[in-house]
Structure 1
Amino acid sequence: MPRKSPVVFPQEQRLLSELGERLRLARKRRKLSNAVVGQRAGVSRTTVYKVEAGDPGATLGAYVRVLAVLGLEGDLNLLAADDRIGRKLQDLALEPSPDTRRRKVNPPPARNREGSA
């Protein structure tokens, strides 16, 4: 039974296609064929075609192997390296809210054993 293709939104598909095109250009600059890249990466020539086409069905591992063959695997360290949104959310959670700054917490009155204050 064939696997279902993942749902990919147009913007994400555009990103994958652009990545594939950059990988194709990098391969051509190195004067390597799809067959050679596939052999060195340990994937089929068809998988290299899929990676260069930005096929969302190609595994992340296939993309990584092709990057490694082209000497570009270090670029993976740049992915999500600067999580500006996450840091901002974290900073907001660390700041006390305006309500807690204004409110003074008073301890409850001490009660004796009979229950009267």
Structure 2
Amino acid sequence: MLGKLIRIGRTERGMTAQDLADRAGISRTTLYNIEKGTPGPEIGTVFEVAVLVGVRLFDDDDRRLAMHKAHLDEKLTLLPQSVRSSRQEVDDDF
């Protein structure tokens, strides 16, 4: 969810991925991994990027978080396909 918030915050501010990566002092690949939600990037880097795009980091209301997540999912479905992360089916039929 944090990666989605960061990506939306970046696009709402009109920043390119390269702009944000440069400002945070990270590579574009690291930013891509943060926005994708992969567990590799350091948490401090993720928090720094979140602050740069205006994402609130702490909110303790579970119901509000669930509603916010649903809103973000809806918002991301409106983005062009090339912006959304692809969902690959895993072929585990051996």
2:35 to 52, 65, 72: 52
Instruction: State the distance in 2 between where 1:68 and 1:19 align.
Output: 11
Would you say the 8 A contact 2:9–2:54 is kept in 1? no
2:6 equivalent to 1:26: no
The code of the aligned residue for 2:31 comes to: V
Return the TM-score normalized by structure 2. 0.57
Shift of 1:43: 0.9
Would you say the 8 A contact 2:3–2:36 is kept in 1? yes
* Structure 1 runs not aligned, ≥5 long: 1-17, 83-117
Deviation string 1:39-67 (CA, Å, 9 cap, x unpaired) is 11111111110000001011101211211
Instruction: State the distance in 2 between where 1:56 and 1:32 align.
Output: 23
Instruction: State the distance in 1 between where 2:48 and 2:26 align.
Output: 8
* Higher Cα Rg, which structure: 1
Return the TM-score normalized by structure 1. 0.47
Instruction: State the distance in 1 between where 2:4 and 2:10 align.
Output: 10
